[in-house]
Amino acid sequence: MKSSAPGKVILFGEHAVVYNRPALAVPVNQVCVDVEVLDSDSAGVFIDAPMVNLHGELSALPPDHAIGSVILNLFQRLNISAPPALNINIVSSIPVAAGLGSGAAVSVALIRALSAHLKNPLPDEQVNDLVFEIEKLHHGTPSGIDNTVITYNQPVYFIKGQPIETFKTGKPFTIVIGDTGIPAPTKESVGDVRRLWIKNNNAFENIFNEIAQLSLIARRSIESGKPELLGELMNQNHELLQQLTVSSPELDRLVTAAKTAGALGAKLSGGGRGGNMIAFVEKESAESVAQALLSAGAKRTIVTEVG
């Protein structure tokens, strides 16, 4: 049985979303995780996942292993105490720890392929719930936005704990994603923001409120077919993320390079400190902005159309 899941990118509202403010995120189908589950002749569950250098038996992994724990959680959910002999192949083009949701995408594709192979395919809602539980094991206090966008493969306006709202794009628009190539685990930046939020509660609450306003205006602009407003909103969101301390010299450099090359606005995207930034561009300037990002040190770029 085979399954696939896309990457994701946050347009507005990262970090604030952990504190119940709204955020906007969209799937990125240019990168994905593919999982294939096959019956095996030799006993045990063998996993091949070259992107994390994993080639081995499930039973040899520590119980909290990022991929092993997904499989164990699913067996538990399906009441499987003696799993059949399996070969699980996982191939991913989503960079790890780059803010594109690689972990959630592996979990979604793995749970879908494995549950279907075990003749008990889980509906989206259960896939989403289970992946959120797994995200909590590895990421501390995730908002749930990554698993939601990736499970449903649709743009979402996300507020933690509330029913899923997707949004429509009145007019398609183009985003260039630039990867600093610096791995930055979300858990760390989310943990640091939490420590600072405890110390500077009023200031951080105010920043989260300002970010919430931007997410709200951005959603309206997208839905009413006025994406041209997004550039300035991204610039403002980036400044607020700098105040939350989650930008970095490399991210700032790429943001500036994108704007100098003609992007209408840019910001970091995801947990920050490293990982990715995004730039809002006119379709015609996407290639030159991507080129400028590479010249400024980006390890790779992705041009994606939203809507």
Following DSSP, what letter does each residue of 84-140 receive, concatenated?
A: PPEEEEEEE-SPTTSSS-HHHHHHHHHHHHHHHHTT-PPPHHHHHHHHHHHHHHHHS
Window of 11-19, 81-89, 119-127, 258-266 that interacts with ligand MEV by CB under 6 A: 11-19
- Residue 92, exposed/middle/buried by CB under 10 A (0-12, 13-18, 19+)? buried
Q: Does residue 98 bind ligand MEV (CB under 6 A)? A: no
Q: Supply the minimum distance, in Å, between the C-beta of residue 248 and ligand MEV.
A: 14
Q: Does residue 14 bind ligand MEV (CB under 6 A)? A: yes
Window of 8-16, 33-41, 83-91, 200-208 that interacts with ligand MEV by CB under 6 A: 8-16
Q: Does residue 250 bind ligand MEV (CB under 6 A)? A: no
Active site (annotated) includes residue 146: yes
Query: Which of 48, 146, 179, 192 is flagged as catalytic?
Result: 146
Following DSSP, what letter does each residue of 272-300 receive, concatenated?
A: -SSSEEEEEE-GGGHHHHHHHHHHTT-SE
Q: Is the dihedral of CA 164, 130, 147, 184 positive or negative?
A: positive
Identity of the residue numbered 258: A
Window of 47-55, 87-95, 139-147, 204-212 that interacts with ligand MEV by CB under 6 A: 139-147
- Residue 5, exposed/middle/buried by CB under 10 A (0-12, 13-18, 19+)? buried
**Closest by alpha carbon to 104, among 156, 40, 55?**
156
Q: Which of 15, 138, 259, 273 binds ligand MEV (CB under 6 A)?
A: 15
Q: Which of 19, 65, 83, 146 binds ligand MEV (CB under 6 A)?
A: 146
Q: Does residue 10 bind ligand MEV (CB under 6 A)? A: yes
Q: Which of 145, 277, 281, 290 binds ligand MEV (CB under 6 A)?
A: 145
- Between 143 and 304, CB nearer to ligand MEV: 143
Q: Does residue 214 bind ligand MEV (CB under 6 A)? A: no
- The helix (run of H) or strand (run of E) holding residue 46 is strand 45-49
Under 8 Å between Cβ of 147 and 136: no
The tokens for 130 are: 């289970």
Q: Which of 68, 95, 103, 142 binds ligand MEV (CB under 6 A)?
A: 142
C-alpha 104/C-alpha 112 separation (Å) is: 12
C-alpha 307/C-alpha 305 separation (Å) is: 7
Q: Does residue 17 bind ligand MEV (CB under 6 A)? A: yes
The footprint of ligand MEV on residues 168-197 (CB under 6 A) is 186, 190
Q: Any idea which residues carry the catalytic annotation?
A: 146
Site for ligand MEV, rule CB under 6 A: 10, 14-15, 17-18, 99, 142-143, 145-146, 186, 190, 270-271
